Amino acid sequence: MAEPRLRVWLARPLFEDVTARLDAHFDVMRTSVEDRYPPAAVAEHLREVDGALVTLSEQIGAEEIAAAARLRAIANVAVGYDNLDLPALTAAGVLVTNTPDVLTETTADFGFALLMATARRITEAERWLREGHWDRWSFDRMLGADLHGSTLGILGMGRIGQGIARRAAGFGMRVLYHNRKRLPVETENDCSRARYVGFNELLSQVDHLMLVLPYTAQTHHVIDAAALAKMKPTATLVNLARGGIVDEPALADALAHGRLAAAGLDVYEGEPAVRPELLALRNVVLTPHIASASPATRRAMVALAVDNLIAALGCGPDAGRPSAPVNAELLKR
Ligand code: GLV
């Protein structure tokens, strides 16, 4: 008798022509709507399947997999995976994969867009114009911070941080970075001759600070009131990483009281909720977690997640060897 086909859950309707490749290998449980799943609904779906393709909106931990006896793989359509409780999934033998590389350049582009919009007050100026305030040209209206000739700080010098650093040369910026470890000199040279500095030096020296580090227990609120107090009051802060890296009430307070010039945020601690104190400020640019959102990149992310899931469940040309495993130790068992 033929083996029963493996089952997978596709948590979102994502690029149908790409996800159709799953059908060659699996019975696919699909949804046609962009639902928010309460934890019980996530658990209910996972109970039935061998694998799942999910996005950052799905939070999966010990409770959600408690009854998922068949579950062997989760393909996350994101490079970050803080929506997944990695120790719990690893302990249960569930292989997790992510989507690095394919989103690096698009995200780095967006980092610069957000930095420029923030430093040069683009959204504030547009809002002011649309509100009908512009009755005469004025020499000193909406003065903003220069990028050229300034010092860019990058906290977290992984692939995206390096993409941002490479772009900085085009703007004539000096680049400082802080990372868990220093990069090889050749990589630093490729990254606009970026210079490794300590965390406190980074905070105090830079005119613009980009946050592109992973969110972990160690990086929770690393940008808190004390860190913000070390920054120049004229500085700009951009967060492309995860909201939980920044103590948002402390940030709002610094922005409201002139201890920091401006912030550009693509991510929030309780997203999609955004704190009212941030919404109330004029010197903050707020975007809805869209740094990797170009059609080609979003499509490439889904394609990589599909390949990861097929391989992780032992099918296709790379059976057993997904290209982007997160808990790769499970592959060695
Ligand atoms: C987006 O935030 C990602 O982690 O891919």
Q: Atom 4 in ligand 1: which residue has the minimum CA distance?
A: 80
Query: pLDDT at position 31, please?
Result: 84
Catalytic option among 47, 159, 289, 299: 289
- What sections of 181-322 are H helices per DSSP? 185-190, 199-205, 225-230, 248-256, 276-279, 295-312
Query: Residue holding tokens 């002011």?
Result: 128
* Alpha carbon of 226 to ligand 1 centroid (Å): 27
Residue 240 tokens read as: 């492309």
Residue with tokens 């070390």: 230
Q: Indicate the top mutation candidate among 54, 56, 98, 271 to test ligand 1's pocket, ranked by most ligand atoms within 8 A of CB.
A: 56
Instruction: Exactly one of 271, 275, 277, 299 is catalytic; name it.
Output: 271
Structure tokens at 149: 């000739």
Q: Is 144 in the pocket of ligand 1 (CB under 6 A)?
A: no
User: Would you say 53 and 11 are in contact if contact means Cβ atoms under 8 Å apart?
Assistant: yes
Is 271 among the catalytic positions?
A: yes
**Left (φ > 0), alpha (ψ -120 to 50) or beta: where does 93 sit?**
left
- Give the Cα-Cα-Cα angle 231, 237, 240 (nearest 5 degrees): 140
> What residues are paired with 263 via a beta bridge?
237, 284
User: Which amino acid is residue 76, in one-letter code?
Assistant: N
Rounded to the nearest angstrom, the gap between the alpha carbon of residue 199 and the centroid of all alpha carbons in its chain is 21
Identical fold for domains 6-102+295-332 and 104-286, yes or no, is yes
CA distance 166 to 184: 15
pLDDT for 300: 98
Q: Which one-letter DSSP state was computed for residue 327?
A: S
- The answer to whether 262 and 250 are in contact (CB under 8 A) is no
DSSP state of 246: B
At 184 the pLDDT is 98
pLDDT of residue 212: 98
Regions of the chain short of the pLDDT cut 50 = none
Q: What is the pLDDT of residues 14-59, one digit of tens each?
A: 999 999 999 999 999 998 777 788 899 999 999 999 999 999 999 9
Alpha carbons within 13 angstroms on the beta-carbon side of residue 317 total 3
Q: Ligand 1 in contact with 194 (CB < 6 A)?
A: no
Looking at 23-121, list the stretches that DSSP marks H as alpha helix, in order from N- to C-terminal side. Answer: 39-47, 62-65, 86-91, 104-119
214 lines ligand 1 (CB under 6 A): no
Give domain 104-286's CATH superfamily.
NAD(P)-binding Rossmann-like Domain (3.40.50.720)
Confirm or reject: Cβ of 160 under 6 Å from ligand 1: no
Answer yes or no: is the C-beta of 80 below 6 A from any ligand 1 atom.
yes
Evaluate whether 94 touches 65 at the Cβ level (below 8 Å): yes
User: Does the C-beta of 213 come closer than 6 Å to ligand 1?
Assistant: no
- Rounded to the nearest 10 degrees, the angle between the axes of helix 295-312 and helix 104-119 is 140
Specify which residues 74 forms β-bridges with: 52, 96
In the chain, domain spans: 6-102+295-332, 104-286
Nearest CA to ligand 1 atom 1: 78
Catalytic, 257? Answer: no
Any atom of ligand 1 within 6 Å of the Cβ of 147? no
Identify which of 12, 57, 79, 83 to mutate to test ligand 1's pocket (most ligand atoms within 8 A of the CB). Answer: 79
> Which of 273, 232, 224, 231 is closest to 251 using CA atoms?
224
d(C-alpha 190, C-alpha 169), whole Å: 10
Tokens of 147: 């990028």
Catalytic residue among 242, 248, 269, 298: 242
Known catalytic membership, residue 289: yes
Quick one: which of 261, 229, 288 has its CA closest to 110? 288
CATH for 6-102+295-332 is 3.40.50.720
Which DSSP string do the residues of 125-140 spell out, in sequence order? HHHHHHTT--SS--TT
Between CA 236 and CA 138 the distance in angstroms is: 24
Taken as a whole, the chain contains a residue count of 333
pLDDT value, residue 36: 81
Q: For residue 35, what pLDDT is reported?
A: 73
**Binding site membership of 104 for ligand 1 (Cβ less than 6 Å):** no
